[in-house]
Structure formats: C-alpha cells, structure tokens
Structure 1
Amino acid sequence: MPTPRFRTDPPSTAPASLAAASSVSADPPAANSRRWWLLAIVALAQLTVVLDGTIVNIALPQAQIALGMSDGDRTWVVTLYSLVFGALLLLGGRIADFWGRKRSFIVGMAGFAIASAIGGAAQNTGELLAARGLQGLFAALLAPASLALLTVNFPGGKDRIKAFALYGAIAGGGAAVGLILGGVLTEYASWRWCLFVNVPIAIVAIAAALPVIRESKAHGNTRYDVPGAILVAFGLGSLVFGFAQAENGWGSWPVLVCLPLGLVLLALFVFVESRSNHPLLPLRIIVDKVRGGAFLTALLSGAALLGGLLFLTLYFQIVLGYTPIQSGLASLPMTATIMIGAGVLSKFLASTGVRIPMTVGPIVGAAGLLWLTGITVGGNYALEVLPGLILLGTGLALIFVPLQNVALSGIAEHDAGAASAAVTAMQQIGGSLGTALFTALYTAAVSSYLVGKVPSPAAQFGALVSGYQSAFLWAAIIIFAAAPIAFFLVRPRRDDLLAPEPAVHLG
C-alpha cells in the first residue's frame, strides 16, 4: 500500500517501550468523556489568549489617564504583547513538545494569570509594560501547548473535526467577545479588571486541567535547536515590530530596518533548519503543498479579521458615538454567526471536505467587508453594518472550522507543538501585518479626502469614514486572495481528513 501523500510522520527514533508509554489505553467511554472535558479546558485557555488582544484595547483610554501614559507608551502596551508573543511562539511550541504539553499548559496558564494580576495592579507605565511583556511570554507557551493537546488527543475521525471546529470558532470570534467583555468591565468596574479577569479564568482552567489532562511529550531526539531559536525569535520579533511601527509611516526607520532584517533572519532560519538534525521547526511541516496553503490562508484571514475589526470598532465609537459596551454588542452578530456556522459546518465537513468551504469562505468574507465600505457618517446600523457582519461571520466560520484540521492533519505527535506554534505564528503575523497595512491605507485615505476642503466637523467625520472604507476595501481584497490559494493548494484526500482514529490516546 503506498504511503499517503499528506503524511509527515518522521521515522521513529524511540524505543518500542517509550512509544507504548506515550499512549494510554483506557476504557473507551471514559476516555471519550475525558477528552471532551479536555476540549472545554483548552477552549477556555484559547479564549483567554485571543480576547486579551481586544479587551485591553478597550481599557487603554482609561489606563492612559490613570497612569499618565504618553501616546507612544499607549501604543507599546499593545505592541509589546504581540511582539513577545510572536517572537517566542515557535520556541514555546518546541518546549511544549519536549518538556511536556500538560506541564507547559499549566505553567503557561499560571504565568499568564500572574502577569495579568501584575498589570491590573500596575501603578505606573513601566509596571504595565513589563506585565504585558510577561503576558506575551507565557502566551507563547500556552497557545501552542493548548493546540498540541488537541492534536494528540483527537488524532483522527469525526470527533477531531468537531473539536477543531470549536477551536476555530473561538479563534475567529474571541476578538469580538473581548470587545464586549472589555466594554462591560471598563464601564461598570475599572480598566484594571480587563486584566484581573484572567486570574479567575486561569484558576478554573488549571483546577480542571490537573485531574483531566494527562501528560504527553515527544520522545527520541529532544535536543533544542539553539541557533534556530535565536534566529526565529529575532526574525519574527523584527517583523512584528516593523509592522507595528508602520502606523508612523512606511518610511520610518523601524520599518525600513526591521522588516528587511526580519526577512533576512527568517531566511537564515530556514537555511539552518534544513541542515539541523534536531530542528526547531522541521521543514516537512511547512513544505507540504496542502499544509502550506492552509498556513497562507491563516495569514491572510488573520490580517483581514484583526485589521478590519479594529476599524469597525473605531467607526462605532468615534463616528456613531457608541459606548464601549454598545460597540461590543454591535459586533456580536459576527461572533454569533461564527459560532452557529461552526456548529453547522462541523456536521457536514466530513461529507463536503475542506476545499469547498475554504474556497467559498474567503469570497463570502470579502463580500461582507465590501458591504461595510457602504458605511456613512449618518450610520444606519441595520442596513449598512449588520448584513456585512453576518456575511463576514459566515465567511470566517467557513475558513476557521476546517483550517486547523488541514494545518495539523498528518502531523506526527513528536511535532505537535511545533506545528501548532507555526499555525498560531502565521495568524499572529497576519494580524500585525493587517493592522499596520490598513492603518497606513486609512491614513492616506483620510489625508486625500481632506485635500481642498474647508476644515469643519463634517469634513473631519467624512474623512474618517473615507479612511474606514479604504481599510474595509483592502481587507476584502486580502481575504479574497485566500480563495484561489485554497482552491488550488488545499486539496487533501478525504482519507487524510478522516484518518481512522487509533487506539484512544490520553497523552
């Protein structure tokens, strides 16, 4: 029988006894119940990481006043988290593989909670920035460990599709949940609770994880690739920082220096990995055509989602005058559509396959963003915004539900953490790219609109809306580009998606 094209398992280097030790046979009903509890725990952790990006954005205006931050410091509160998170993701994934995924999950969750508590109690800008950096560090350990736990505990079958459907729905809708929760906490409690809220969530997740999750780790070659870790950390960090600074102009020195430097360092990283016998990111993970297409789709959809959502929030609050709570509730239809769409699609994905939804999803998402280009200063929510949000949510559900299945299908358990980190890194880089690119396009559109116009409030609001329209248009173009990529590249065999599930694996 020929070897499946999509399989990427490396030759086993572990003794038979160790291989057996990595799998635990259990009573199937008990094992099945345990791993669905595991899914709930991992989903809670993933929600914490995803919503943290937007929940803090809502709190920033109050935090700036309370701590006396400058506008530059305020920007760093957002940038520092994404910078550390993006730079250390691949290393965090390998630590999870070698040190243990359960251990990494618990340490990452606990560290994230401690960092959040420090940030919530911050008395000055330096303490808040330090806390945000620590949050990024522990998130880089927590996120790949969470996804790796799903990968090894749902190795195949329809249950895997359902598990990754929920995970994908949270990845797509968590940002909007952050807007709602951030608005409620900021308005009725304090900006500090936008950070403190992570503490009780972490306590619940850790208390549930200790008895439910069983340890799993890679065996055989578990040496760390130190040169690769250094190159990819500085390479990804340079890219994230460069994109984050692009809002100050694409000709500024951080952009001109950091973006080319990041690309050079990542090229060197690929060169080192191709010659290492213990690579940080085995190139077999990313060179497969199907998986590579999924990674590119993650990059483009992440850029469109995070970049587009930022300007929608600005439109609600600045032009329409919504409060933070109203702004979050106005985004709720998109989140609800993603959640409902994920549940429905997971029931049919085994029959339809992944190629159709991953091709149609970007087209529907682009249609939603194009609809949002029709927003006006007057702002008729029901006609100008709501249909666009429903279309965008539908498109994102069609993308995110199959995305994780494709990106992690055929991954050997030895590489689960590394592959999970690679998927998350693509989405993180995409978010940074989208935010920077759309901010630059927004600024250019605003300036162009104001040329020759007499300064007035009406002209200013018109300029803002013109900028938002430009951002939505380019976000639509970016996400639409994922459609041909999915159509021509994301074509796994049905057996790859629905690989028969092996003996019950509990890590």
Structure 2
Amino acid sequence: MEQHRPSSWGVLLIVSLAVFILVIDTTTMEVSISALVHDLDTNASTIQTIITIYTLVKAAFMLIGAKLQDFIGRKKAFLIGAAMYGIGVFTAATSQNAAMFLVGWSILEGIGTVLMLPATVTFITGTYEGKERAFAFGVWGGIAAAASIFGLIFGGYLTTNHSWRWVFALELVILLIIFALHRVLKETRPTESWKSFDRGGAVLSVLGLMALVFGILMVKEPSEWVIVPFLILGGIILLFGFYFWERRQIRNAKGVLVDVTILPERSFLAGNVVAIGQKFVSAGFIFIFPLFYEMVTGASAYETGIALLPMTLGVVVFSILGARLSSSVEPKYVLLLGIALAGAGLAALRDVFSLTTTAHDIFPGSLLFGIGLGLVLSQLTNLTLSSIRSERQTDASGIYNTTRQLGSSLGTALIGIVLALGFVRGLPSGQPSPYLPGQPLLSIGISDAAINQGMEWAFVAMILVVIGMFLAGLFIRKTGKIV
C-alpha cells in the first residue's frame, strides 16, 4: 500500500465528488416536485412513484452492486457505474415526459449508484490505513450529510430561479472531472468467476429488500396501510431465507452473494445498528424541518436550506476535526460523544417550533445537532468496517450501505407519520386539518398547539432513536488511538 504517493489523496477527491453528486441528486429532486410536474406535464403522484422506484432500485440492488467488484474489479465496477449514471443524468436532464425521466433517473442513475457507492467505501479501505483512513471516512461521511442540505440550497435556488435541469448539468461536469482523474484509482483483480455467482441469493435479496423497503415507504400512505404488514413481513421472511441460503452456500463451499458470517461480529453489527439510527434521524430531520418551515412561513426550499447552514457547517467541520481527534482520543468515545451531542441538539429543538418560529430560534439546537452528527460520521464507518478483514470488505460495504438505505427510508416514513399523528392530536377536538398544499399555515389559522405537538412528537421519536444508537455504540469494541 502506497499511502504517501502524491496521487493518494486524489482517491479521496474522486470518492468525495462521487458521494456528493449521489446525494445532492436525490435531495434536489425531492424539492423540485412542483417544477417536475409542470415541465414533464404529469402529476405529483407520478413523480412520487418515480422517486419511490429510485429508492427501491438503490436498496434492492446495493448488495449485488457491491459484489460485482469481486467479479470485474473495483475500479471497473465504479467506472461502469459512473458511465451508466452519466447516461442517466443526461437522459433525465433532457426528459420531455415522465417515462423518459423514469428511465434516466430511477433506473439508469439507480443502477449507477449501486455500482459506485459501495466502491467509494472499498477505495478508502484499500488505499488508506490508520489515521489517514479515519480522516478519509470522516470526509466521506461529512460530504454525504452536508450534500443533502446543499441539495436544498442549490437545488431550491436553481428550481426557483432557473430550472432543475441545471442540477444535472452540474453533475455531468463533476462526472467529467471524475473520469479525467480516474488514473489515480488502483485497479483490483477479480477474485471470483461468473460461474460462482449466487443467483439464488441474488433473487432472495432483491425480492426481500424490495418488499421491505416498499412496505416501509407505504407507511406514509394511510390508504395503503392494509398491505403494509404483508409487505414488511414478507420482506423480513425473504431476508431470513436469504440469510439461511447464504449459510447453506458457505457450508457447501459454493459461491455466495454476501458472506453473512460477518454479521454477528460485535462491532460490525453494532456499527450497522448505529448507522441505521444515524440515517433514520438525519433523513427524518431533513424531511420534517423543510416541511415545517415551508408550510408555516411559506419559505422556499432555498430559504429553508439557508436556515440549515449552521447545521451543515457543524457537520462538515466536525466530521473532519473528529477524524483528527481520533489520533489522541479513543474513537469509540468520540462516537459516543457525538451521539450524545446529537441527542442534546434534538432535545433543544423539541419545543421551539410554533407559528412564529424563525431561523434564529432553531440556530442553537441545529448547530449542536450538526456538531454531534459530524462527530458520529467521523468515526462510524471506520469503526464498523475496520472490524472486518480486508478480503471481506466488499461484503461489508454492501451490507453497510444497504442498512444505511433502510435507515433513510425508515426515517422519512416513520417520522412523517409521527409528525402527522402529533399534529392531529394537537388540533382542537373535532377540527379537521385545513391545510391546503402551497398555502402557509400561518395564514389559515392553525393553532400553535397543533404545530408544537406534531413537531414535539417527531423530535421525541428521534431522541428515542438516538438513545438506541448510544446503547448500540456501547457494544462497539475499543480500537485504541489511531496512529
């Protein structure tokens, strides 16, 4: 391993650029629904379906995308994914109707993502060691979290003042930079042949993850609740079947999609639980805060993103500082401190929301939450993946990124439901919700009690998840100061 080559940090640059476009792409589209409906001559339900399909593709095929590194090599898998993603971006940018946008964004970009994202993790584990690896993973996590808020700001600005299509133009420029720098990426030789590809495991994992994630996403639709238990239970049963199928494959010395024997490793399992919680809380916060701010004040997505700038800065700065801190402090303690600070930030925000809330009111709590989140991200990925031996890093990265996708889906679905239930609970008895899309709640006489109750319930739910993260973090083994 040549850690000190001048080009070695070029790997981190490519990885960071890749993660950046993968995250802002999703956030930007979520704040551009109205513009997409108008420009593609469709309706909001169709656009929501396209977003759901994109989420399903990423979650269902992430394990396969990671495994392909073993069959064709890490660099080749990444570059094929980047090329496919680029074709998808161009198709989406030039879409004239919803069908064309579905193919470009949901399918081609989705498949490109499952090839690129796991490789960004294994590029880091394969290139860096010690404090350099801790620093690289801190940057990786910080960029991913900050990009979601940058998507609100940048995407909101372009959608409001220009066009959502310009977001894809930015992504194409970044992809060209990635291809221009690709020579700094070191190729790895395939370690398995196509004959050993685990088709049975692939089918079980895809069907199980698709059913589970679709069921989770449908929680947001009360009219579909009748099928939700069947989807979620069916997904869980299929995933259990996948687990035992993989164990059988291992016993028979046959090829596997994922080496599931790494799952019981204490630090890896605990780290994945913390990762689910972190994505749950992050996605939940990014979902409900813009919803509140735009509904109450009529603020644009761009203005909402500006209100979250302190949180963004906290995430970016402390994800980098936290990685440096691990050379003088036990990384596990930095992680636990970050979880505690994130919980404290959520607790500070729990009771500040009302019809008269301003950006100044949420500044202290959101900054503290961002600082805590940054510290968590500075340690979590490294602590989780470093517990797995190097030859199983593709399996570990596939599982890790899949659990993160599950956490994100859970956060947006469940926190949205908790918010709605609290909101209804806070309404005066017998009063229906008079909210009309696009109309600020401030202008239609909604009571402070309803707003405060809904947001308080949502934040209490996120605080409970953070407590669970802290308990899971206690089971992560100490690694000693990173040198």
Provide closer, same or farther for how the CA distance between residues 265 and 405 of structure 1 changes in structure 2, counting only shifts above 3 A.
Answer: same
- The reply to whether residue 442 of structure 1 matches residue 419 of structure 2 is yes
The amino acid that maps onto 1:476 is: I
> How far apart are the structure 1 equivalents of 2:73 and 2:447?
54
CA contact (8 A) 2:425 2:453 kept: no
Q: 2:260 aligns with which of 283, 290, 313?
A: 283
Aligned to 2:438: none
Q: Which residue of 1 aligns with 2:71?
A: 98
CA distance in 2 between partners of 1:281 and 1:353 (Å):
31
State which drifts further: 220-229 or 447-456: 447-456
Does 2:146 align with 1:173? Answer: yes
Per-residue Cα deviation, 1:390-409 (whole angstroms, up to 9, x for no partner): 11111111211111111110
Cα deviation for residue 269 of structure 1 reads 0.7
In structure 1, C-alpha distance between the alignment counterparts of 2:192 and 2:302, rounded to whole Å: 51
Note the C-alpha offset of 1:203. 1.1
Q: Which residue of 2 aligns with 1:400?
A: 377
Distance 2:29 2:148 in 1: 11
* 1:442 and 1:467 in contact (8 A); partners too: yes
**Aligned partners of 1:351, 1:66: CA distance in 2, in Å?**
53
Equivalent residue for 1:492, pick from 466, 473, 478: 478
Q: Distance in 2 between matches of 1:254 and 1:113?
A: 36
Q: How far apart, CA to CA, are the structure 1 residues paired with 2:193 and 2:247?
A: 16
Task: Give 1:193 shift.
Answer: 2.1
Distance 1:288 1:460, change over 3 A: same
Query: 1:341, CA displacement in angstroms?
Result: 0.7
Residues 34-80 of structure 1, C-alpha deviations (whole Å, 9 max, x = no match): 22011101110011112222111111111112223333212113211
Q: CA 1:474–1:217 in structure 2 vs 1: closer, same or farther (change >3 Å)? A: farther
Q: Is the 8 A contact 1:249 1:440 kept in 2?
A: no
1:375 equivalent in alignment to 2:316: no
Residue matched to 1:481? 468
Shift, 1:201, TM fit: 1.2
Quick check: 1:420 aligned with 2:407? Answer: no
AA aligned to 1:121 is T
User: 122, 136, 139: which one pairs with 1:148?
Assistant: 122
Give CA-to-partner distance per residue, 1:327-377, whole Å, 9 cap, x none. Answer: 111111111111111222122202212221222222211221222222111
Does structure 2 conserve the Cα–Cα contact (< 8 Å) formed by 1:363 and 1:483? yes
Report the equivalent of 1:43. 16
Alpha-carbon spacing, 1:119–1:253, altered in 2? closer, same or farther (3 Å): farther
- The one-letter code of the counterpart of 1:354 is P
Distance 1:220 1:111, change over 3 A: closer
Q: Give 1:212's aligned residue.
A: 184
Number of the residue aligned with 1:3: none
**1:255 & 1:234 partners in 2: Cα distance?**
15
1:468 aligns with 2:455: yes
- Distance in 1, matches of 2:317 and 2:42, equals 40
- What TM-score does the superposition give when structure 2 sets the normalisation length? 0.92
Deviation at 1:87, TM superposition (A): 0.3
1:453 Cα shift? 6.0
Q: What residue in structure 1 maps to residue 228 of structure 2?
A: 255
Three-state SS of the structure 2 residue aligned to 1:350 is: coil
What per-residue deviation string (whole Å, max 9, x for no partner) do you get for residues 405-446 of structure 1?
111104344322221121111111000011111111122122
Q: For the residues of structure 2 that align with 1:462 and 1:128, how far apart are their CA atoms?
A: 41
How many Å apart are 1:268 and its aligned residue?
A: 0.4
- The structure 1 residue matched to 2:295, chosen from 313, 318, 331, is 318
Moved more, 461-470 or 172-181: 461-470
Partner SS, residue 32 of structure 2: helix
Give the match for residue 130 of structure 1: 103
Once structures 1 and 2 are overlaid, which stretch shifts more, 455-464 or 477-486? 455-464
Q: Summarize the alignment of residues 345-384 of structure 1 with structure 2, pairs less than 5 Å apart.
A: 345-373=322-350, 374-382=352-360, 384=361
Deviations 1:10-44 (Å, cap 9, x if unpaired)? xxxxxxxxxxxxxxx76x64x2x222011101110
Deviates more, 1:423-432 or 1:464-473: 464-473
Q: Which runs of 5+ in 1 are unaligned?
A: 1-24, 499-507
Q: Take 2:172 and 2:449, find their aligned partners in 1: how far apart are those partners?
A: 42
Deviations 1:307-336, CA, capped at 9 Å, x for gaps: 111111112222122222211111111111
- Shifted more, 343-352 versus 408-417: the winner is 408-417
Whichever residue aligns with residue 396 of structure 1, its letter is L
1:221, CA displacement in angstroms?
6.8
CA RMSD across the alignment: 2.0
Equivalenced residues, count: 466
Amino acid at match of 2:289: L
Work out the percentage of aligned pairs sharing the same amino acid: 27
- Following TM superposition, by how much is the alpha carbon of 1:461 offset from its aligned partner in structure 2, in angstroms? 7.1
Determine if contact 2:209/2:235 at 8 Å carries over to the other structure.
yes
- Alignment of 1:226 with 2:204, yes or no, is no
Residues in 2 aligned to 1:202 and 1:417: alpha-carbon distance in whole angstroms: 23
Given that 1:250 and 1:256 are in contact with CA atoms closer than 8 Å, whether structure 2 keeps it comes out as no
CA 49–369 in structure 1, closer or farther in 2 if over 3 Å, else same: same
For residues 195-240 of structure 1, the C-alpha deviation after alignment (integer angstroms, 9 at most, x for no partner) is: 333211111111111x211211452677221111111111111111
Q: Is the 8 A contact 2:54 2:107 kept in 1?
A: yes
Aligned mates of 1:255, 1:100 — CA distance in 2: 38
Distance 1:445 1:73 in 2: 28
Give the direction of change, closer, same or farther, for the CA distance of 1:479–1:133 in structure 2 (3 Å limit).
farther
How many angstroms apart in 2 are the aligned matches of 1:57 and 1:396?
Answer: 22
Where does the alignment leave 5 or more consecutive residues of structure 2 unmatched? 435-443
- Tell me, in whole angstroms, the C-alpha distance in 1 between the residues paired with 2:64 and 2:338: 31
Structure 1 counterpart of 2:188, one-letter code: S
Counterpart residue type for residue 490 of structure 1: I
Distance in 1, Cα, partners of 2:297 & 2:34: 18
Alignment of 1:293-304 (within 5 A): 293-304=270-281
Report how far residue 105 of structure 1 moved: 1.0
8 Å CA contact 2:24, 2:150 repeated in 1: yes
CA distance in 2: counterparts of 1:258 and 1:138, whole angstroms: 26
RCO greater where, 1 or 2, for CA within 8 Å and sep 6 or more?
1
- Deviation, 1:472, is 2.1
2-structure distance, mates of 1:413, 1:217: 14
- Matched with 1:501 is none
